[in-house]
Structures are given as C-alpha cells and as structure tokens.
Amino acid sequence: MSEYGSRGGWRGDGADVRPPAFDPWLSPELFQGVLTKRVLAFLIDLVVLAIPVILAVVFIAVFGVVTLGLGWTLFWLVSPASVIWALIYYGASLGGPYSATMGMRVMGLEMRTWFGEPSYFVLGAVHAVLFWISITMLSPFVLLVGLFNGRRRLLHDIVLGTVVINAAVQLPARSY
C-alpha cells in the first residue's frame, strides 16, 4: 500500500503505480480514426468559437455608427474577450460531463486522463493553451507526433497526460 492511498497517488519515491488505462494493442478500436476526427472536430470548434466573436464585432461596428464613432473604441476588447471565451469554452466543455468539446462530440471523441478519469475544467483550459502554444512555437508539423505513437497522442496530450479516444467504444470495467 502506498503512503498516499491504495489508488496509486504519491508514494514518496515519485512513482505512480497505476498502469495507463488505454492500451492500443488490447483495444485498437479506441484509437481508430482519432487523428482525422480530431482535425474535423477542431474545425467545428473553430466555427463555434468564431460565431460569438463575429456577432460581437458586428455589434461594435453598428454601435460605432450609431454613436458617431465613439462605440468603435470597444474594438480593443475583442482580442482579450476572444481569448477568455476560448478558455471558458474549452475548460467547460472538456471539463463537462462528456469530456468533449462540441466538435469532439459530433465526431464521437472524448478526452480522458492517462489513467482513464474524465477531464476537468483546468485540464481542459490548459490543454487548449498548450495546443495553441505548441502550434505557434513549433509549427503545425508538431501534429505529426500523433502518427508515431499507438495512442495517437499529440505533443500537448503527452505533456498533460491525456488521451483522446472514440467515445462510442464501450470501455472495459477497471478492477482497481
């Protein structure tokens, strides 16, 4: 038994005794087509994120015309509000009951931790931040990492300890 508890938390030596929840050799159906579905889910999520931003820009433009140009000073709020909106969207949807964004739900995907637990708000928000940082700093070629591992994990998935799986596949019961 570990110092932290029987579920495999902190033991004093830094090792976590729990095995990964999803094995690509025992359950390959969990990872079939995941990369393609993730790309399509991302495009759907971009549309979902863009709609409120476009509506806000149109509102500010019309408000600026009505106020003879004074309302256009609100345009500086669009960029920070877009970032806040994206963080809330990813945090709430990935941390929600389905552990998936709207695009992921349409494509039949869900995000889990390395040990099989559902995602939570902070993990979802940090997942989005690391994705955008990895894409902008390392170029989109960083997405090729998913082609070279059995779980189809991308760089930010590996860093955060998450796995994206097909949600429609029935997961086997864990005996821990």
Choose among 165, 86, 166, 76: nearest CA to 127: 86
**pLDDT at residue 26, as a whole number:** 80
Sequence-separated (6 or more) residues with CB below 8 Å from residue 54: none
**pLDDT at residue 140, as a whole number:** 77
Determine the Cα–Cα distance for residues 120 and 80; give it in Å rounded to an integer: 23
Q: What is the pTM of this model?
A: 0.83
**pLDDT at residue 24, as a whole number:** 79
**pLDDT at residue 1, as a whole number:** 42
**Angle made by CA atoms 165, 135, 96, in degrees to the nearest 5:** 40
Positions in the chain whose pLDDT score sits under 70: 1-17, 170-176
Determine the Cα–Cα distance for residues 120 and 114; give it in Å rounded to an integer: 13
* Residue whose entry in the numeric block shows the structure tokens 């038994």: 1
Q: Side chain identity at 61, as an amino acid letter?
A: A
Q: CA 64 → CA 55, 56, 72, 81, 151, distances in Å? A: 14, 12, 5, 18, 50
> What is the DSSP code (8-state) at residue 9?
-
In the chain, domain spans:
28-166
pLDDT tens-digit map of 11-48: 555 555 677 778 778 888 889 999 999 999 999 999 99
**pLDDT at residue 44, as a whole number:** 97
